[in-house]
Chains A and B, each alone.
Chain A
Amino acid sequence: MGRSRDTADRAPRGLVLVCVVVAAIVVAPVAVTMVQALQGGVSAAATSIRASSSLTLLLHTALVAVVATPVCGVIGVAAAWFLERSNVPGRRVWTLLVVAPLVVPLFVTSYAYATLGASLTGFLGAVGIIAFSYYPIVFLLAAASLRVMDPALEETARSLGLGAWETFRRVVLPQLRPALYGGLLLVALDALVEFDAFVAFKFQTFTLSIYAQYQLSFSASGAAALSMFSVVLCVVILVVESKLRGDANYTRISHGVRRQTARYALGRATPAVLLGLGALVTVSLGIPMGMLIYWFTQSSSAALSSASTSLQYLWPATLTSVLLGLGSAVVAIVLALPMAILAVRYKGRVPTILERSVYLSFALPDLVGAIALAYAASHLVHVLYGSVALLVLAEAMLFVPFAVVALRSTLGLIEPALEDSARSLGLGPLRTLWRVTVPLARPGLAAAGVLVFAFALGDLSTAQVLLPPSMYTLGTSFWANSRTVAYAAAAPYAAVLVVLSLVLTYVLMSRFGKVRAVEGA
């Protein structure tokens, strides 16, 4: 829905150059991993692939992604429709609760469910945890789309005799396609290389096998060789998605009137919808929170000693986590902004390929990507090796795609004419960016920043590899304690993480509502 300039407009060279550099940075770990994989020769790589029953694991992983992604789509779109188009009571609170699972660290959720009972693990458990943790991505994009949709489209459909379901199927869903595909792409790619979510599960996925390979043999090349599969899968998904998307990037032809679309009265269906939302929030948020509280109550008795000793580490861990998160958010925005501008404002082969390349950040399991970065730093930029800066960069790179998606949605609403008139008033491209684009894109910048910050808080694998040995974060402290089954000691770290995440959700959602204001600008 972005208002792009005429196709005749070619992207300025400087912008393309900056984007090429960003793409190179994001793709670098993939390239390094390829080199590592082939270091021992093609035959060695082939051997390590054969030895690890990788085909079965690949199938497992693909199955989880294939089943969980559509489930995410259904949950995300359904929740978005009910909260944006029906008169279900308590919509503001529900919106917050529905988004919150996105920023609750996956390893916390994973442990909560694992400690709840073995029956929840396995394939269905894996699908469930992905579906119920990732659906907010689809929800956010779909809800944003619903908010800016021209109300006249749906009103016309109803005046032509279509009921709620038919209007949804024939008008709303087709309009949601770009947002939906974008969301599903993020979910599918993320699910492929997910590790944190499965740490506590007894379900062997491809990523787990890579981790095992790495930990057992400490062989980077073996893990790298296995990672090639996920790179191939990632590229396949990217291609499939762009084929699916096709011409779904509709030009918005009428801007309509800026007013709220009439909401559907649910009437007697209200209790059923409330029940559904309640169930969703219970599964995705309530049970993990319940388990946390349960662990806390345990800390007061049995594990009191270990819990109190761990408390003195809580503050430094929190500070490290927050600073890391802030750093990652800033770096991710700097990387994402040129990409988002290029993608929104210019059409053509080069902008498309550059923008898509960012998604290769999902091609490697976090651990493998981190190792590749460490390897590259040690060989090429020695100053970075073992530094916090490398960790910040690694986490920023990991979450750049989310920042691009968040920025794109806001930038697309800014009339290019506003930038053009700044140029005509004598401002250069950079000053235009700083004085016009950035102020107008503030809601998007805030959303991108908050998302990356939250994801960085919840990151575990990258920090484990790249965090300097003397330091610890909320995530690594939780992990260290929970591995030794000291759940009570781990609980405070998880609690701080969750509280921080919930506060962030609130900030994110209050920004989310302001996106519309930009449209009117």
Chain B
Amino acid sequence: MAELRCEAVTAAYGERAVLGGVDLVVPEGTLTAILGASGSGKTTLLRVIMGFLRAERGRVLVGGTVVAEGGGVHLPPEKRAVGYVAQEGALYPHLRVGQNVAFGLPRAERKDSARIGEMLELVGLPADYAGRRAHELSGGEQRRVALARALAPRPRLVLLDEPFSGLDASLRVETREAVLRALADAKTTAVLVTHDQAEALSMGREVAVLRAGSLVQTSAPTTLYRTPADLDVARFVGEAVVLPGDARAGHVRCALGDLALVDPAVAGIVHTVIRPEQIRLGRTDGAQGPDRAGHTEPAEPSGPAEPSGPAGPAGAPARAGRVLSRTYYGPDVLLHVDLNGHVIAARSFSHDAPDVGDLVTLDVSGPVVAFPVQPGDPLAPES
């Protein structure tokens, strides 16, 4: 178990630069998820850490030892003790499960069925799976065996490349839990590469967002979700309602009212980011909205978006809009509400969700983030 450290790593395929100076520290015994869209350089970064691709510049250190240095040291993959779990597991079809697990062990230990059983149990599989053929296992079981195989020789670090892709939802959750448990039990340093936000946020102690070959933000999941570094990251890590707004003195005025800002220093014309789960819906027919206990003020009809009263604290006056569409997910529904020309996405519990065409009030709970508009943005003030 060792710390992984990447220092200003750059890499290229031929002429095409793929990584432009990646700095990353994964502390010993923790899991960092690298989140990026396809083509962002995730796999390239993995291949540099593994040793299948040379770093052009910068250094990669595992446990304080330099394993790759641009123009200098390049330890071959087999000398790095960096375990690897490939996308679909890549179990050896010519070997049984037990032989797969023992594959990386020294010859004398490969017959040690107790050890193999231990490794299988570590990933939550019964020891008697050792005699099965790889193709007899389900997709999720194959990934677990691949993890057991990677962990068996006690690597200093394990890399997981989209290890849950192609699994259906319930299997995904189950396999994810088994993998987290195994990694924690083995106290392994791990890097997980994924394009799935929920996966990254739920699994990583830290999440590093990779965009166009550079890490734009590395932080704990809650920090990343609540205070993303920029608008792109905000949209990338979760659903977001983005509204134009005017920020000053710790508040922002937008179509949803006068809202408190997470970062009071932001000022000027901004993009305001509100998460759908922050938006509370209420009925306008005088009955109390399901989520608005305590509020009794009548909803305003759909009117001008300008907040009428002075900027109050968190409890800004609610706005009203008409439900445009409703997507049913079982426990909850996703609604699109037309608020004075802005389409606002909001979630509601399904048992008393409004219907299409209903008039609803919207208000926002909790502070929001905002990003000053960049020059060239259509919202930017004319200079």
A residues near B (Cβ < 8 Å) are: 150, 152-153, 155-163, 167, 170-171, 174-175, 177, 248, 250-257, 262
Contacts and interface: CB of A to CB of B under 8 A. Distances in A.
Contacts of A262: 47, 52-53
For the complex of A and B, list the 3 residue pairs with the smallest distance between their C-beta atoms, beginning with the closest. A160-B104, A254-B88, A152-B86
Contact of A254 (B76, B94, B142): B142
Contact of B50 (A159, A177, A252, A255): A159
Contact of A160 (B43, B89, B134, B150): B150
Contacts of B89: 253-254
B164 interface: no
B21 interface: no
B150 A256 contact: no
B87 interface: yes
Nearest to B146: A156
Contacts of A175: 93-94
Nearest to A253: B135
Nearest to A263: B52
Find the residue from A174, A252, A262 having the highest chain B CB count within 10 A. Answer: A262
Interface of B is mostly: loop
Given A158-B51, A167-B78, 19 more contacts: A155-B86, A156-B86, A157-B103, A159-B150, A160-B103, A160-B149, A161-B81, A162-B104, A163-B76, A174-B94, A175-B94, A253-B88, A253-B135, A254-B86, A254-B89, A254-B91, A256-B87, A262-B47, A262-B53
A160 B85 CA distance: 11
Contacts of B155: 159
Contacts of B86: 152, 155-156, 254, 256
B367 interface: no
Find the residue from A150, A158, A161, A171 having the highest chain B CB count within 10 A. Answer: A161
A495 to B, nearest CB: 41
> Chain B, interface size: which category?
35 or more
Interface string B83-122: 1101111111111000000011000000000000000000
A474 to B, nearest CB: 45
Contacts of B149: 156, 160
B77 A158 contact: yes
A160 B110 CA distance: 13
Contacts of B80: 159
B93 A159 contact: no
A64 B153 CA distance: 46
Contacts of A257: 43, 87
A432 B164 CA distance: 35
Contacts of B50: 155, 159
Find the residue from B94, B135, B142, B149 having the highest chain A CB count within 10 A. Answer: B94
B82 interface: yes
Nearest to B51: A158
Contacts of B81: 161
B104 A161 contact: yes
A156 B90 contact: yes
